Structure 1
Amino acid sequence: MSRVIKTENVATERTRLMKAMAIAMRELIAKQGFDSQARDLTAFMVFALDSVSQSVERSVVPWEKRGYWVKADRFRMDWAWTEPTAKKLRVALLAEDMGAIAESIASLAQRLQNVDAPVKHRLGTPWVGAWEKLHAAQSAGG
């Protein structure tokens, strides 16, 4: 049996997720009301933030093995905003608290303002069905 070689590294995955969140943010801002697609977009951002947070931990493990503690800690501090933002957005979305959702989206928009997301992209619509996944995960976990 041959080895499975993963050609995509963690930084590439993180960059792709940040661009996807920026595209989803643009779609969400263009929406007039908060309908099912807006729920999907917001739930997708929750999942993307969770994935970014997990990718940070996978990135720092090799640095810690080599003794680059300061570099690892600095990197963790740079990305420390992802986990609390995801948690706050998840709670607000499940409670359907529009004020808290708007506040979380605004703080996330500040973080994503420097992300270059093209208008014409090949990403598709990965947010379709994200609300059902989030709701199902919450029902199974709670």
Structure 2
Amino acid sequence: MSRIIKTSTPGKEREHLSKAIVITVRNFMRQEKSDAETGDMVAFVILALHEIFIGIEQSVVAWEKRGYWVKADKYRMEWQWTAEKSSILLEAFEKLDWSLITTLLIEIMQKFSNLKVSDHHRMGKPWLGANLHLSKLKESINN
């Protein structure tokens, strides 16, 4: 049996999710009216922010094992906004408060302002089906 080599790290996943969020919010802002795809976009941003937060915790655990507590706490505080925005966005999405959702998405885009994502990316539409995943996640949490 051969070794299993994990090529994906929390940092790479965070970078990928961050770019996907930028692409999703750009497309959200281009829409003229809300539809099923709009719901998928918002759900994707909620899920992606949650995944980024989980990845931060994985990175921090490795640093804490080595005794880098100050670095770990600083990094955790730097990315704490992902969990906060994710929960606020989820509440707004459940209420279908589109003005608050739009405001939150603009704030999230400002956090990723240093990312450069080409309009000719190869990610496709990462948000497709995200609303279903979000529903399943909420259902599993409630059970």
TM range (shorter): over 0.9
Is the contact made by 1:28 and 1:38 (CA closer than 8 Å) also made in structure 2? yes
Tell me how far 1:19 sits from its aligned partner: 0.5
The aligned counterpart of 1:3 is 3
Deviation of the 1:62 alpha carbon: 1.3
| TM-score normalised over the length of structure 2 | 0.92
The residue that corresponds to 2:100 in the other structure is 100
- Please tell me whether the aligned partners of residues 24 and 126 of structure 2 are also in contact (alpha carbons under 8 angstroms): no
| Matched residue, 1:57 | 57
TM-score, normalised relative to structure 1: 0.93
Residue 20 of structure 1 aligns with an amino acid whose one-letter code is A
Q: Which runs of 5+ in 1 are unaligned?
A: none
The equivalent of 2:132 in structure 1 is: 132
Q: Helix, strand or coil: the match of 2:80?
A: coil
> Which aligned runs of 4 or more in structure 1 are off by greater than 2 angstroms?
135-142
Q: Residue 77 of structure 1: CA displacement?
A: 0.9
Q: Say if 2:85 is the partner of 1:85.
A: yes
Separation of aligned partners in 1, 2:93 and 2:26: 18
Identity of aligned residues (%): 37
Tell me if the contact between 1:19 and 1:115 (Cα under 8 Å) persists in the aligned partners.
yes
Rounded to whole Å, the distance in 1 between the matches of 2:64 and 2:141 is: 32
Paired residues, number? 142
